Structures are given as C-alpha cells and as structure tokens.
Chain A
Amino acid sequence: MAGASTRSGMSAALTLIGKRFASSLLTLLLVSMTIFVIAQLLPGDAAQEALGQSATPEQVAALRHEMGLDRPAHVRYVSWLAGMVSGDPGQSLVANMPVSEVIAERLPNSLLLAALSALVAVPVALAIGIGSAMNRGGRIDRALNIVTLSMVAVPEFLVATIAVLIFSVKLRWLPSIAMASSDMGWGDYLRGVAMPILTLSVIVIAQMARMTRAAVIDQMDRPYVEMAVLKGVAPVRIVLRHIMPNAIAPIVNAMALSLSYLLGGAVIVETIFNYPGLASLMVNAVTSRDMPLLQACAMIFCAAYLILMLIADVTAILANPRLRAQ
C-alpha cells in the first residue's frame, strides 16, 4: 500500500515538474516578445541609425529591405525567435560579425566568474546564515545582522573601490584590472579575477546569508521544533535533521536568486575591473544601440534566471512530501 502510494506520488511530482518546466518555457516566450517589442520601440530604426542623418530616403529603404526591416513585425519576431532557438540571433551591427560569435567569446568568461564566485559564496553564506540563526538574538547574530544588512545595500563600485585600495594600492598584491585571456595560466588567471570574485561574493554572501537565516528561523518557531527539543534532540541534530528538510526549499530559492545576480548583476563589477564578460558586452550593446546583440544578451540572462528558478522549484517539489506524494 505504501509502495503504491509512493510510486503514484513520484509520478505526481513528475507531472508537477513537467508543468513547471512548460510554464518556464511559456514565460521565456513571453519575455522574448516583451524584449522584442521594447526593442522595436526604438525611435528611428536600425537602418537610419546605421546610415546616419545624411542618408537619402532611398538608401535607407534599400538597407531596410536588406536588413528585413520592411517586413511586418510579427514576421520579424518569428524569424528572430527561430534564429535565437537555432543559435543564430543575427548580425551584430557594431562588431559586424554574427552575434553568436561575439557572445561565444564572452559567455565562458561570465560563466567561469559566476561559478568561481558561487564556489566561494555559497558555503560562506550557508555557514553565516545557519550560524546566526542558531545564535538568534545573541551578540554574534546581531553583529552579523548589521553587517549583512549593510552589505546588501552597498553599491558594488564601493566594494570594488575599497578592494582596490586595500589589495592593489596599499598591499600591492593584486592587479587593479582583471585580465582574462586564453593563454594565461590558472595562477595568473586567479590572481587576475580575485578582486572581481571578492567583490561579487561579498554582496551575494550578504543576500544569501540573510535569506538563509530567515528560512531557518521561520522553521525554528514551529511547534515541531519545540517537540524535538522536548524529545531531547541535540541542537545540531535539530538543525540538520529536523529544520533543514523543511528549510531546504526556501534556501535553494535564495541561492538561485543570488546566483542569477552573479550573471546579470555583474555588469558593474565587469566594467570596473575591465573583465571581458557578457554583462559588459551588453552595456556596450546599449551604448552603441546594437539591438540584435542586446536582445540576445537579454534573452540569455532571462533564460539563466528562469533555469535557476526552475531548479529551485524542482528542489521545492522534491523536498516537500505534500507535493511529492499528493
């Protein structure tokens, strides 16, 4: 009997996960429309922009035709979307090369930076979050609360500036400009990206630690925790065996939110340290109004966000027996 209910429970969970996946895809589709529509609202159009004010109407019309801008909007949307899906989001207007190539150069850098920062940030944030929750109301907790509360509100460029002041101006340990090129050894690479990682981690750790603490404390006030205390369960076991299974979903959600920030929110850190990542590429695209490139970058960031959220949702479904065995 129990076996049967577990099996049907698993299939119920799979259905639920399938639904979440479909819903994420739908959201991504809507996002693509929104981005496309906003990009089309650009005053003037790309052909005019490319040729400048002195171009004759005939020249503009010819270029418009060549670029396919004279087709109706929905046709252009479908062909753009088809291009996105097949890995060919068009031609970068400024770089004059396929958007896919421009992005292929930058994306690995961004992913690597995000991965390394996550590697630093996640364990530290978990330790701070759980530690201060267990010490709730105590000195350490209150001190950490003020610190993380401040860190989440500090602009990235201040963290970066202070890091530069300390590590490259005063101590002269690290270069103030990040280098990342393929012919660098790992040691040099790490020295080069140490400060970007540090800056990103500081902010992300503060966010994640606060949300982790909140998730754990939310559980600590539940009657089942008091029950565990009254069963004689030791504090560490209470956190690991009783609270964690219930807090895991909000914690993973917090992680996912913060990690999505590591990709898109890295804009300023990449710029300040001159790190050749995707976010600074997107800023260039904005400055030069390179719409195909901008749209592709935006779609990548949104997709990354949705994937992380999907992972968080799936974790929540698998962690919750109510959803697992409906």
Chain B
Amino acid sequence: MMASAFQRAKALPVSGKVGLALVIFWLAVAVFGPMLAPYPVGAFVAYDVFDGQSAKHWLGSDYLGRDVLSRLLSGARYTVGLAAAAALLASTTGTALALTAAVGGAKVDEPLSRFMDMLISIPSKIFSLVLVAAFGSSLGLLLLIAAFTYVPGNYRIARALAVNLAQMDYVQVARARGEGRFHIAIAEILPNMIHPLLADFGLRFVFIVLLLSGLSFLGLGVQPPDADLGSLVRENISGLGEGALAILAPAVAIATLTVGVNLLIDAIGFSGKGKGR
C-alpha cells in the first residue's frame, strides 16, 4: 500500500511533485508548526515594527513588533485545520445527499436538486457573508458556514457522477438481482466515484482556504486573539504602502498552500469541473 503510493508519487510530473511537496510541507506545519515557533505567538519581541528579514526574525516583524514567522506557523494550523475539516464536512454531506438522490428516484432527486440549484445561484462569498452576518463567526460557526457554502457545489458534481453510474449496466444488474438501495449506493456506485471525489475534495479545500482567509482579511473570519493566515494579512495591511514582509509572507503562504493542492490535483488528472470560487 505504502509502496504503491510511493511509486505513484514517483510517476508524477514535476509540477505534481512540487504540488505534493507543498501539500506535505503545509500539513507538517499545521501539525508541528507551533512547536517549532521561535517565539511565543503574542509576544512583542522586535524593536521595530515592519522589520525586514533578519537572522533573529526570519520573516521580519509585524505591525506591533511581533515575530512574523512564529505567528505564521501558528496561523497555518487554523487555516489548514479549519479548511480541511470544512471541506471534509462539505464533501461527505454533499456526496451522501447525492447518493440518496441517485438511488432515491425522481421523488427524492427532484426537490433536492432544485433546492441545491437554488443555493448554488447564491455566489459563495455573498452567501457566506449573509451567514456570518446572521450567525457570527466563532471558529465552530466558521467551519459550519464554510462547509454549508460548498455543499451545493460538491452535491452537483457528486450527483452528476452518481446519476451516470446509476445508469450503468452493473447497477441495473444489481437492481435486477434484488439488491437494496443502500447496497447499490455504497457497494456499486460509491467505489467508482472516489477518484473524482478526491479531486473535488481538493478543490473544495482550496476554495475554503481562500474563502476563510478572505473573510479573515475582511475582519469577518477568525477573530483575535486567534489568527489564521488571512488575519495576519489584515492586521498588517497598514504595511501595504511600504511593501512589508509581514503582509507578503502570510499571503505567499496561502498561495503556496492552494497552488500546491491545485498542482497536485491537476497532475493526478481527475480534475473535476466545479463552479469557480
């Protein structure tokens, strides 16, 4: 199992290897990052604000003179963790509903799909803004909001796959054998949609990272004293005019994470088509 995963990684094109390396790197940072931080997250450790790169502060200091690297290592955990959890929630919910629709017949499929079509016509950023306005933005709520925002997109992809597979002869054979709907959904249909669903999970993850950092950037996402990568960009926005490293570093961090996932998905070659972010 491990060996075959390793061989597959070796067969990836260069862009895919870069993507894989970036993904592994950020996962590692999310898990171990805070332990590696040279300074406490909230500590004021530099004499100057918006310091450039130095031996003491690899990524300089922020608008209050805190160590950017330490804050980045801790912020990455929020960004990666929240987005992964939300993407997982969105994908499992969307896929479960899609399978229900595919084996449930028109009576289940039509109202469900109609409802999802309606939700999908609310642009995702707008939708999440309305939800944040109504419910607020504690970490748990953010997770739910991000997941809920991207359920319709995953549902649409998964349903298209599942409905196609449900027409396959082997599903007809299983139905004619007398198999129940649950068996057909789980044993016959689901295993054949895993690859595109994994690709879609990656895409949702990217969308959610961008959404959550966007919300944090607008001050509507992760609230202080917690800070994700988007919050780091926001708090240092006053350094934009001088092009401070404190604003560039977290922005680049987000980009390497999302670009890495995208490169990996593209190289594996199951690019699902979804609505843009």
A–B direct touch in complex (beta carbons closer than 8 A): yes
Which A residues fall within an 8 A CB radius of B?
Answer: 27-28, 30-31, 34-35, 38-39, 41-43, 145-146, 149-150, 152-158, 161-162, 164-165, 168-170, 176, 207, 214, 257-258, 260-261, 263-265, 267-268, 271-272, 282-283, 285-287, 289, 291, 294-295, 297-298, 301-302, 305-306, 309
Task: List residues of chain B with CB within 8 A of the CB of A302.
Answer: 121-123, 126
Contacts A155-B210, A267-B218 hold; do A149 and B259 have CB atoms under 8 A apart?
Answer: yes
Contact residues, B84-126 vs A (CB, 8 A): 117-119, 121-123, 125-126
A206 to B205, CA, bound (A): 19
Q: Which residue of A lies closest to B206 (CB)?
A: A153
The answer to whether A38 and B131 touch (CB under 8 A), given A153-B210, A155-B258, is: yes
| Contact B243–A164 (Cβ < 8 Å) | yes
Among B121, B122, B126, B255, which residue has its beta carbon within 8 angstroms of that of A158? B255
A interface footprint on B206-232 (CB within 8 Å = 1, 0 otherwise) = 100010011001111000000000100
Within 8 Å by CB of B220, from A158, A287, A291, lies A287
Can you show 24 pairs from A to B with CB atoms below 8 A apart? A30-B118, A34-B119, A35-B122, A38-B134, A41-B134, A41-B135, A43-B135, A149-B259, A150-B255, A150-B262, A153-B261, A158-B248, A158-B254, A176-B240, A176-B241, A207-B276, A214-B273, A265-B123, A267-B214, A272-B237, A282-B126, A289-B133, A301-B122, A301-B126
Interface SS of B by simple majority: helix
**Closest CB-CB distance, A90 to chain B, in whole Å?**
15
B136 cross-chain contacts in A, Cβ below 8 A = 43
Residue of A nearest to B261 (CB): A153
**B64 within 8 A of partner (CB):** no
Q: B129 at the A/B interface (Cβ < 8 Å)? A: yes
Chain A contacts for B263, CB-based, 8 A? 146, 149-150
Distance in angstroms between the alpha carbons of A134 and B250 in the assembled complex = 37
Minimum Cβ distance to chain B for residue A104 (Å): 19
CB distance from A36 to the nearest CB of B (A): 10
Q: Does B121 lie within 8 Å of A146, measured CB to CB?
A: no
Residues of B within 8 A of A264 (CB): 123, 125-126
Chain B stretch 239-273: residues in CB contact (< 8 A) with chain A: 240-243, 247-248, 251-252, 254-255, 258-259, 261-263, 266, 273
A272 / chain B contacts, CB cutoff of 8 Å: 237, 240
How far, in angstroms, from A263 to B254 measured CA to CA in the complex? 23
Please encode chain B, from 11 to 55, with 1 for each CB lying within 8 Å of some chain A CB and 0 for all others: 000010000000000000000000000000000000000000000
Contact, CB under 8 Å: A169 / B214: no
- With A and B bound together, what is the CA distance between A324 and B242 in angstroms? 57
B130 at the interface (CB under 8 A from A): yes
Distance in Å: Cβ of A12 to nearest Cβ of chain B: 23
Whether A149 contacts B123 by the Cβ 8 Å rule is: no
Residues of A within 8 A of B119 (CB): 34
B248 adjacent to A153 (CB under 8 Å)? no
- Residues of chain B contacted by A155 (CB below 8 angstroms): 210, 213-214, 217, 230, 251, 254-255, 258
- Chain A nearest Cβ from B240, distance in angstroms: 6
Most interface-central of B123, B133, B214, B266 (chain A CB within 10 A): B133
Given contacts A257-B276, A286-B220, contact A267 B125 (CB under 8 A): yes
Q: Is B82's beta carbon under 8 Å from chain A? A: no
Determine whether B275 belongs to the interface, using a CB cutoff of 8 Å to chain A: yes
Minimum C-beta distance from A154 to chain B (A): 5
Query: A158-B252, A169-B242 are known contacts; what are 15 more A-B pairs with Cβ within 8 Å?
Result: A27-B121, A34-B119, A149-B262, A152-B262, A152-B277, A153-B206, A154-B258, A155-B213, A157-B217, A158-B251, A158-B255, A161-B243, A207-B276, A287-B219, A306-B121
B198: Cβ under 8 A from any A Cβ = no
Which residues of the other chain, B, contact A286 by a CB distance below 8 angstroms?
129-130, 132-133, 220
A285 touches B133 (CB 8 A): yes
* Chain B residues within an 8 Å CB radius of A214: 273
Any chain A CB within 8 A of the CB of B233?
Answer: yes
Point out the residue from A41, A170, A285, A305 that lies within 8 Å of B121, measured CB to CB.
A305
CB neighbours (8 Å) of A268 from chain B are 214, 217-218
A292 CB, nearest partner CB in chain B, Å? 12
Residue from the list A146, A150, A169, A305 in contact with B123, Cβ < 8 A: A305
